[in-house]
Amino acid sequence: MNKERLLVCGAGGFIGGHLVKRLKEEGYWVRGADMKPHDFSTSAADEFTLGDLRDQNFAGSVVEGIDEVYQLAADMGGAGYLFTGAHDAVVMHNSATINLNVLEFGYRAGGQNFFYSSSACIYPAYNQEDPENPKCSEDSVYPAAPDSEYGWEKLFSEKLYLSYLRNYGVSVRIARFHNIFGPDGTWKGGREKAPAAICRKVAEAPNHGVIEIWGDGCQTRSFLYIDDCVEGIGRLMESDFAGPVNIGSDEMVTIDELAHMIVEISGKKLSLRHIAGPVGVRGRNSDNRLIEQKLGWRPSRPLREGLEKTYAWIQQQIATAKCVDALITC
């Protein structure tokens, strides 16, 4: 066993749950903290503490005796949650409060190592208007103009962690995630991201049916499979580079191309119908030059490989849900 005791904030979430598994495989003692249990699996954490990290008493209690903090807890979701404007106040308040609490009380408790999960949503909207040539290099973030309050909060919290590094000498690592996806993630309910949403629509659609796509389908994105994300976190923490650094794939596709890939995986013949809906910026892709320079590594898993695993998992979730709804045993 490694002697270090680690805390994963947001351990009941998608990335946090996978990160806990990875840290346990590496022999660490891990405490998980979240306001809810994991939706799809039992946590691998040695100790899982339920509570609200917005509460100072709870935040202060979970950082006690911890050597290294992984802060992934946030109020977040896909375009349907973040880009309508309906949740701006709670997104900013909840996430900022969590970061203020975790960092301050973690530092007071003697914690010296912090990982912070930022987001590609911090990049300026004016650099992402051309879907074929978005600019998302780490140094392009200023002048700041994120396209959502979620991005503004992430940008504020990056500065928060870096100020503790400068003033108090704590070790900080910051990663900007680009559209992480995979099994054990939200796939319905309004907070799911594009890969999960489209996998669900395709799995539920009858053969020769139609699925709906928000916008014209020409907006571009890159999507990173969860295993590569967790690998990137580990490599960043082992390095002497504070970041911020992109952790994402540079395999850029249009949303229509993403949908067609998932349809092909399903074996169905489906048509796309484009409808109005929140779409975010026109183009976004992970610029991986800095991560390769600093860590000697960059994500390389093909998008299709991750989609095949994710589609199979969501297909099984739908089948299980139907069995439960029908009150029968499969």
- Catalytic residue numbers? 150
The SS3 call for residue 230 is helix
Beta-carbon-side half-sphere exposure of residue 293 (alpha carbons within 13 Å): 9
What is the spatial distance between Cα 46 and Cα 69, in angstroms, rounded to a whole number?
15
What is the spatial distance between Cα 237 and Cα 232, in angstroms, rounded to a whole number?
9
Closest CA to 200 of 313, 94, 291: 313
Cα-based distances in Å from 58 to 8, 85, 118, 209, 315: 14, 29, 23, 49, 37
Cis peptide before 143 (omega within 30 of 0): yes
Phi-psi region of 96 (alpha: psi -120 to 50; beta: other; left: phi over 0): alpha
Please name the helix (run of DSSP H) or strand (run of DSSP E) that holds residue 113, with its range, or none. Answer: strand 113-119
Length of the chain, in residues: 330
Q: Which residues lie closer than 8 Å to 13 by C-beta, 6 or more apart?
A: 34, 38, 72, 73
Closest CA to 314 of 279, 254, 267, 262: 262
Structure tokens at 20: 């806990």
Q: Which residue type does 269 have?
A: K
Closest CA to 173 of 62, 71, 288, 98: 71
Structure tokens at 232: 């990137």
The SS3 call for residue 322 is helix
Please name the helix (run of DSSP H) or strand (run of DSSP E) that holds residue 98, with its range, or none. Answer: helix 88-108
Using only the alpha carbons of the chain, give its radius of gyration: 20
